[in-house]
Amino acid sequence: MTKIAVAGIGYVGLSNALLLAQKNEVFAYDIDSNKIEKIKNKICPIKDEYCEDFLKNKNLYLHATSESQHAFEDADFIIISTPTNYDEKTNSFDTSSVTETIKKARSVNKKALIVIKSTIPVGYTDFLSKELNDNKIIFSPEFLREGNALYDNLYPSRIIIGSHSTDAIKFAGLLKDCSLKKDVDVLFTGSGEAEAIKLFSNTYLAMRVAFFNELDSYAMAHKLSTKEIIDGVCLDPRIGNNYNNPSFGYGGYCLPKDTKQLLENFRKVPQELIKAIVYANRTRKDFIADDIISKSPKIIGVYRLIMKEGSDNFRQSSVQGIMKRLKAKGLEVIIYEPEYMSDNFFHSKVIKNLDEFKRKSDIIITNRFNSELTDVLNKIYTRDIFGVD
């Protein structure tokens, strides 16, 4: 049986490990020993229906370990899915966890194909391969959505592999073989091209969100119906009626950082649009915050810190950008967030009781509407026009 090690068991690592462990011996490795214990006990560390179900009910060849050597030695393939946070000082991703993990893996295993699934700057794979004199490192972008991580790997939109080597073709075969989709498009490209595909895909999605948000800003400013305009615009099949629900801004772990990274990759290439996609998100949050302030609330309630319905984390959620702007103007903000245990969030009080939160708030701002707010409709501030993500 093929042995695969996966390093970094977050949304990307866990879903890939579960996918591949249907038919391969998979060793899931993470520096977070709590996560490893949970997986050993079949408890899913993330909120994801398919991941929870697979862990609990499927017969998988899955082993979780905090011992990197145990995971890496003898592996035929090593997947790297550690974080690449955006570093505001260098204007680029911090790729140190990826580089360190690759070096660690290579020190105990010279033969495995190393597959980077973390999102990296364009040119990283080529640079690292040359620096380490190693021609068995490739990049394969990940396109999953949080909350649907395993589903999106079982039914992938496409599989992109940044290499044409025999081992790379074998790896694509493993992913395809474990998917449940009948015809999966598989594309083999150069490594820079695969890296660019990931950043351009996410920047396109951010552009679409920013576009419908600016449409909404315009409609608000001119007292027009956003819904009627979007309905009419999106009936054009070339535009399409999807991914068009206004929000406070694009957010989450990937879109904000991936757009900024692409802008950095454009440093020596003339462009206007990529910069505008990054800046449009700030302008939108300024507009929303000013609109909330214009209603003169004394206490502003923030309903949920999450980015979208069903999310289990607050990474770069757009409502936090709104909160920052409101607090900078000296306004009092209180929060309702059942996933957050502490009493304070960046000096704002967290109210555990929903009724108390509703009573205390003059206005309740929420990126997405939830039916538990139906009794306080007169206090709600949202730009969720269509009630979808």
Among 65, 109, 118, 320, the residue binding ligand NAD under the rule CB under 6 A is 118
Q: Is 250 in the site for ligand NAD (CB under 6 A)?
A: no
For ligand NAD, give the closer residue by CB, 100 or 375.
100
- Using the contact rule CB under 6 A, the part of the chain among 4-12, 176-184, 223-231, 301-309 near ligand NAD is 4-12
Region class of 322: left (phi > 0), else alpha (psi between -120 and 50), else beta:
alpha
Return the residue of 253, 287, 336, 369 that touches ligand NAD, per CB under 6 A: 253
Find the farthest-apart pair of alpha carbons in the chain and give their distance in angstroms, rounded.
Answer: 65
Of 143, 137, 197, which Cα lies nearest the Cα of 165? 137
List beta partners, residue 350. Answer: 335
- CB count within 10 Å of CB 260 equals 23
178 catalytic residue (yes or no) = no
Verify binding: residue 9, ligand NAD, rule CB under 6 A.
yes
In the bound state with ligand NAD, the residue whose beta carbon lies nearer, of 253 and 314, is 253
Q: Which is nearer to ligand NAD, 83 or 349 (CB)?
A: 83
Q: Please say whether the beta carbons of 4 and 75 come within 8 A.
A: yes
Shortest reach from residue 335's CB to ligand NAD, in Å: 22
Q: Which of 35, 136, 285, 368 binds ligand NAD (CB under 6 A)?
A: 35
- CB-nearer residue toward ligand NAD: 175 or 380: 175
Nearest residue (CB) to ligand NAD, 87 versus 231: 87
What are phi and psi for residue 349, nearest 5 degrees? -70, 135
- Report the nearest approach of ligand NAD to the CB of residue 64 (Å): 11
Distance CA 46, CA 35 (A): 10
Contacts for 151 with CB less than 8 Å, ≥ 6 apart: 49, 50
Catalytic, out of 51, 178, 234, 254: 254
The answer to whether residue 147 forms part of the interface with ligand NAD (CB under 6 A) is: no
Q: Residues of 136-156 as b/e, b for ≥16 C-beta within 10 angstroms?
A: bbbbbbbbbebbbbbbbbbeb
Q: Interface with ligand NAD by CB under 6 A: which range of 31-39, 238-246, 277-285, 317-325?
A: 31-39
Q: Which residue has the tokens 């969030």?
A: 345
Q: How many residues does the chain have?
A: 389
Which among 142-150, 212-220, 234-242, 344-352 is the span making contact with ligand NAD, rule CB under 6 A?
A: 142-150
For the bound state, the minimum distance from the C-beta of residue 69 to ligand NAD, rounded and expressed in Å, comes to 13
Helix axes 255-265, 191-221, angle to 10 degrees: 120
DSSP 159: E
Taking CB under 6 A as the binding criterion, the range among 96-104, 172-180, 297-305, 365-373 that sits at the site for ligand NAD is 96-104
List the structure tokens of 5: 């090690």
Stretch that binds ligand NAD, among 95-103, 127-135, 218-226, 376-384 (CB under 6 A): 95-103
54-93 binders of ligand NAD (CB under 6 A): 81-84
Nearer to ligand NAD, 81 or 245 (CB): 81
- Burial class of 199 by CB neighbour count within 10 A (0 to 12, 13 to 18, 19+): buried
11 counts as binding ligand NAD under rule CB under 6 A: yes
Helix (H) or strand (E) holding 256: helix 255-265
Site track for ligand NAD across 157-176, x = CB under 6 A: --------------------
Does 264 participate in binding ligand NAD (rule CB under 6 A)? no
Distance CA 271, CA 348 (A): 39
Q: Which residues bind ligand NAD (CB under 6 A)?
A: 7-13, 30-32, 35, 81-84, 97, 100-101, 118-119, 142, 144, 146, 253-254
Residues with catalytic roles: 254
